[in-house]
Amino acid sequence: MASLFKKKTVDDIIKEQNKELRSTQRQITRDRAMLEKQEKQMELEIKKMAKTGNREACKILAKQLVQLRKQKNRTYAVSSKVTSMSTQTKVMNSQMKMAGAMSSTAKTMQTVNKKMDPQKTLQTMQEFQKENLRMEMTEELINDTLDEIFDESGDEEESQDIVNQVLDEIGIEISGKMASAPSAGSSLPVASTSRARPISDEEIERQLKALGVD
């Protein structure tokens, strides 16, 4: 019962119209087939009258044949018109749907534009770019420091390998005879060692400012 009182949509109306147009098209096709059948029968009748020499009957049948052919040609014109109407209805329906989609999209864009603040968005992008640059510089500084640490560690390991190789060449076993080997301090000058000077806070701030990190 609810479907009987339901308001028809545009799609429902167009479907009903297309159904009626298809029904009309089928009826036109049937009428044309009937007229073609009558046309053939009339042609046979005219030939039959012509053989008997009945000129008056031939003239009357010929006039009827002309009218019949005109009526048949009209069915082609009507059929073409019905097809055009069906196509036009489909095009109008597509245009209405496209207009509805554009209207919905326009409303969505208006809502988004109202909520978006261009100045605030630009400021956010600038802050992101600034923080991203600061992060990259900090990461580069850390990587350089780590590279220096690992490079120094590698030098120490390489120096130890050289010492071990030299001791092996002269026949000194590190495990057992290193204690009886002559001290390096008795024959070689002791290199003076100095501790690295700690970096002050002022120097750290100066380096950060030079890198652009506030």
Q: Place 191 in a pLDDT band, splitting at 50, 70 and 90.
A: very low
User: How confident is the prediction for the chain on average, in pLDDT?
Assistant: 76
CB of 75 closer than 8 Å to CB of 35 = yes
Least confident of 40-49, 93-102, 153-162: 153-162
Report pLDDT for 71: 92
Rounded Cα gap, residues 142 and 203, in angstroms:
16
Rounded Cα gap, residues 59 and 49, in angstroms:
10
Report pLDDT for 192: 41
**Stretch 199-210: mean pLDDT, rounded?**
63
Q: Is 18 exposed, middle or buried (0-12, 13-18, 19+ CB in 10 A)?
A: middle
Phi first, then psi: give them for residue 107, nearest 5 degrees: -65, -40
Q: Place 107 in a pLDDT band, splitting at 50, 70 and 90.
A: confident
In order of 120, 144, 153, the CA distances from 141 in angstroms are 31, 5, 19
Higher-confidence residue of 156 and 22: namely 22
Q: Place 194 in a pLDDT band, splitting at 50, 70 and 90.
A: very low
Q: pTM for this one?
A: 0.44
Alpha-helix runs per DSSP H in the chain: 10-52, 55-115, 118-169, 184-187, 201-211
